[in-house]
Amino acid sequence: MSLKEWLLMQTRGGVHAPHCKHTAECETIVMPPPERVIIAMSQHIGAPCTPTVKVGDTVLVGQVVGDSDKPVSAPIHSGVSGKVTAISELLLPDGKKTDAVVIESDGEQRIHQSVKPPVVESYDDFIKAVRQSGLVGLGGAGFPTHIKLQPKDLDKVDTIIINAAECEPYITSDYRECMEYPQDIISGALTVMEYLNADRVIIAVERNKPAAITELSKIAAEVTRPGHEVFVKSLPARYPQGAEKVLIKTCTGRIVPKGKLPADVGCIVMNVNSIAFLARYLKTGMPLVDKRLTVDGSAISHPKNVRAVIGTPIRDVIEFSGGTKNKIRKLLMGGPMMGIALMDDGLPVLKQNNAIIAMTEDDVTINEPSACIRCGRCVKACPMNLAPPTIEAAYMTDDTGLQEKLGVTTCMECGCCSYVCPASRRIVQTMRLSKQAVSKSKSKS
Ligand code: SF4
Ligand code: SF4
């Protein structure tokens, strides 16, 4: 690699957060279906689904229970067989309300007749199958995959990046996929490369996961060929290495301009769990009905990786994993950097949920924020090259034009700025509010 290429692939900002990957060697344990599932009708970016079943209906595993005719959405399926007992309103962790289909399980796990391998002979068939599978970005983003795989200019896409960086502390769900299903990852990657007519697949793994790198490299070497390369790229272990734009820069040296998408620079990025799921769906026809979750944190007795049916109440997953050893002070859906704090452990597992982290008082002692001392650490840590104190000042004066000019809409809420701030300022929260203010003022104009 030339010095110029090397320089291009260097990314700015980020932090060295403690990895805390306690569950890396914990093989996934399958949780039996719970007595009751609460299936949220909004588990993706885009239009929420409308229930396609009603109270009293009998449903089977793999049956569609929610769908939408809006372009950006994905169907939702049941992971249990049983009876629909309620269609109720659910308050999601992000504060939005949605419908939820509540199903009492009969424990029989009878499979719906629609569950059979899809017939895929063309790109259009492939996209239809991806939609039918209910797949959304399983790394946490929740963007419907069939939309991602239909970029405006398909001919421009030459690179598929499989995101196995998993830079968030604690979470080992992607790592377990690499160790338990490496063949599915490669099989899914080859399928996507074929239907998108791309030239190469880069499987991106942080170098603190050497076993995954070895395992995947071995299989990749067996399938790679000129013009259809498949290889593993080992990345620096630095948060947020797995953020889409950061990953594209590190893997290819390409920069996604503000307001543009990865496909505009020839890349499609897919989470490693998403790609392996897709391979299995094409073989079996079983849609997305369950999810691997890392259950960890100082309040958890026995940290584990658990495969649970989507819609299982989080308290049931914690109970199954061995319960708590200390009082939970903070419960997170996702990791400590980008996860969302939950007010209620009765909330159900969602498609894009990859971890449940339960922390005790000791781990969440929060200092009161003090005045900014202009140290510049947040600026240095920001992978998007933003200046949070300047944006905050523009936010305080309601100058949405200036906030936008300062690039707040590119903030990916990674939390690096808050992590390094010696004054404990709530920078991410301010960035979120600023982004909302900009979007509100744009929708008015
Ligand atoms: S949260 Fe936003 S402002 Fe803070 S470091 Fe991440 S991208 Fe930059
Ligand atoms: S890190 Fe905190 S104290 Fe330092 S400049 Fe940023 S906001 Fe101010």
Do 387 and 277 reside in the same domain of the chain? no
Per-residue model confidence (pLDDT) at position 3: 53
Q: Average pLDDT for residues 110-118, to the nearest whole number?
A: 98
In a domain, 105, yes or no: no
Do 14 and 159 reside in the same domain of the chain? yes
**What 3-state class would DSSP assign to 221?**
helix
Q: Average pLDDT for residues 289-295, to the nearest whole number?
A: 97
Do 123 and 241 reside in the same domain of the chain? yes
pLDDT at 6 over 60: no
Residue bearing the CA closest to ligand 1, atom 1? 413
Q: Average pLDDT for residues 36-49, to the nearest whole number?
A: 95
Per-residue model confidence (pLDDT) at position 5: 55
In a domain, 93, yes or no: no
Per-residue model confidence (pLDDT) at position 442: 83
Q: Which residues pair with 276 in a beta bridge?
A: none
In a domain, 336, yes or no: no
Q: Comparing 304 with 9, which gets the higher pLDDT? A: 304
In a domain, 345, yes or no: no
Residue bearing the CA closest to ligand 1, atom 6? 414
Residue at 160: amino acid letter: I
Do 13 and 149 reside in the same domain of the chain? yes
In a domain, 357, yes or no: no
Tell how far the Cα of 372 is from the centroid of ligand 2, in angstroms: 5
For the Cβ of 378 lying below 6 angstroms from any atom of ligand 2, the answer is yes
N-to-C CA span, the chain: 48
For the Cβ of 381 lying below 6 angstroms from any atom of ligand 1, the answer is yes
Per-residue model confidence (pLDDT) at position 259: 86
Candidate from 59-63, 90-94, 348-352, 356-360 with smallest mean pLDDT: 90-94
Candidate from 94-98, 300-304, 327-331, 408-412 with smallest mean pLDDT: 94-98
Range of the domain at 254: 3-22+117-284
**Model confidence at 356, in pLDDT bands (50, 70, 90)?**
very high
Per-residue model confidence (pLDDT) at position 444: 76
In a domain, 424, yes or no: yes
Count of domains forming the chain: 2
Per-residue model confidence (pLDDT) at position 25: 96
Q: Average pLDDT for residues 400-425, to the nearest whole number?
A: 94
Identify the domain boundary among 226, 252, 284.
284
For the Cβ of 391 lying below 6 angstroms from any atom of ligand 2, the answer is no
Residues 121-143 pLDDT 10s: 999 999 999 999 999 999 877 89
pLDDT at 317 over 80: yes
Residues 6 or more apart whose CB falls under 8 angstroms from that of 394 comprise 402, 403, 406, 434
Do 139 and 248 reside in the same domain of the chain? yes
Tell me how far CA of residue 214 lies from CA of 27, 211, 231, 234, in angstroms: 18, 5, 11, 10
Tell me if 368 sits within 8 A of 155, measured CB to CB: no
Q: Average pLDDT for residues 214-240, to the nearest whole number?
A: 95
In a domain, 338, yes or no: no
For the Cβ of 415 lying below 6 angstroms from any atom of ligand 1, the answer is yes
Residues 233-285 pLDDT 10s: 999 999 999 999 999 999 999 999 988 999 999 999 999 999 999 999 999 99
Do 255 and 398 reside in the same domain of the chain? no
Identify the domain boundary among 240, 255, 284.
284
Identify the domain boundary among 284, 310, 336.
284
In a domain, 267, yes or no: yes
Q: Average pLDDT for residues 387-394, to the nearest whole number?
A: 96
Per-residue model confidence (pLDDT) at position 94: 81
In percent, how much of the chain has pLDDT > 90? 87
d(CA 317, CA 306) in angstroms, rounded, equals 8
Q: Average pLDDT for residues 345-369, to the nearest whole number?
A: 91
Tell me if 103 sits within 8 A of 350, measured CB to CB: no
Query: What's this model's pTM, rounded to 2 decimal places?
Result: 0.92
- The bound ligand whose nearest atom lies closest to the alpha carbon of 14 is 1
Residue bearing the CA closest to ligand 2, atom 1? 421
Task: Return mean pLDDT, the chain.
Answer: 94
For the Cβ of 376 lying below 6 angstroms from any atom of ligand 2, the answer is yes
In percent, how much of the chain has pLDDT > 70? 97
Do 272 and 401 reside in the same domain of the chain? no
CATH of residue 196: 3.40.50.11540
